[in-house]
Homo-oligomer: A and B are copies of this chain.
Amino acid sequence: MKKYGIIMAGGGGTRFWPLSRKALPKQFLNLTGKDILVNETFDRLSGVVEKENIFVVTDALYADKTYELMRGRVTGERVLKEPAARNTAACIGYAAMEILTRYGDGILCVVPSDHYIRRGELYAETLRQGMKLAEKNDCLVTIGIVPSYPATGYGYIKSGRTKDTGGFSQTCREVEEFVEKPSKEVAEEYLREGGYFWNSGIFIWKASVILQAFEKLLPDVYEYLSEIGRAIKSGNERQVLEEVYPRIPKISIDYGIMERADNVVMLEGRFDWSDVGSLDALALLHPLDAGGNVSLGKHVFIDTEGTICYAKSKLLAVAGVKDLIIVEADDVVLVCAREKAQEVKNLVEQLKKDGKEEYL
């Protein structure tokens, strides 16, 4: 069966502000010093799926940006343009319908565009096994990352019994429950107890199988998807999409499908993974200096510890501080305590409230 990659690149979050902006969300940032996240995602996925079979789903707003920044990777119809942001269920359902209708059934590797992964060979191996599993068993495969610390920023998958998967090297488990981001204490308890994995948002399934799940568990969404499917066949996809898509309920795939389906299987992901959920995560992506600092850009440090610096053009001169995030972007300088990285959202909210749209 043919294999496809689906990169979900519609996000427009604010947790990477002021590096990410309304016009340039996180997936388009080069945070690793190598390439922008969505291109790293593409290249990683192309080790598992033919390049020509990788699709990027993004908000129509970002279509031009996507063609421009992913030049040489995706063209034309392989950028699926959402007329509105309707969360992951809509995005994934639309992509599955597109593939099934245009190209026939296939195995889809669905991956977020803006995560960070190290040890790509393990990632590839895991995805390959996931595809075999999905093809053989008609199941919904999700990757659960083996947690390396009691993270409070991730949802967890509580796994059940190990399943026999016919000699796969990655362990396969039943899923008991998807659990929300825990407190520090609960996360520590999860790690002590074992059997808990980070919910990576990476999914593998047949287009037909996920659409069956939509039909069963999200019939209203499925109705819209079917309408889009008919439009694809009759050649007026764009028009129908623009009418229908903005009306699809905003539901995440986790809430809508994963937590309720009975054919979910978790494959253990043993590769290094981060959702790069806030500027604080830059410390995971880069080597630390002797003071535990990370610095991207020009800098001079005296008596500085645990501080994350990102300078676009100016020299950052830092003295006598600890555990800060300092970002110099085009027209904004952010200074934030690392443990308050989530406040960045509130700064953006404040600016919105103050009518300072030019900074968003």
Q: Which residues of A contact B (CB under 8 A)?
A: 18, 300, 302-303, 311, 313-321, 324, 326, 328, 331-337, 339-340, 343-344, 346-347, 350-351, 354, 356, 359
Contacts and interface: CB of A to CB of B under 8 A. Distances in A.
Given A324-B321, A340-B320, A302 B346 contact: yes
B302 A318 contact: no
A335 B332 contact: no
Contacts of A335: 316-319, 321, 324, 326, 335
A44 B331 CA distance: 37
A29 to B, nearest CB: 17
9 closest A-B pairs by CB: A320-B340, A320-B337, A319-B343, A319-B336, A317-B334, A315-B332, A317-B347, A318-B335, A314-B333
A155 B326 CA distance: 36
Contacts of A356: 300, 315
Contacts of A300: 347, 350-351, 354, 356
A344 to B, nearest CB: 7
A347 B331 CA distance: 24
Contacts of A332: 314-317
Given A18-B317, A320-B343, 20 more contacts: A300-B347, A300-B351, A300-B354, A300-B356, A302-B343, A302-B346, A302-B347, A314-B333, A315-B332, A316-B332, A316-B335, A317-B334, A317-B336, A318-B335, A319-B336, A319-B337, A319-B343, A319-B346, A320-B340, A326-B335
Given A321-B324, A324-B321, A303 B343 contact: yes
B321 A337 contact: yes
A175 B304 CA distance: 44
Nearest to A320: B340
Contacts of A319: 334-337, 340, 343-344, 346-347
15 contacts: A300-B347, A300-B351, A302-B347, A313-B331, A314-B333, A315-B332, A317-B347, A317-B351, A319-B344, A319-B347, A320-B336, A320-B340, A320-B343, A321-B335, A321-B336
A303 B350 CA distance: 12
A331 B333 CA distance: 12
A326 B336 CA distance: 11
A333 B337 contact: no
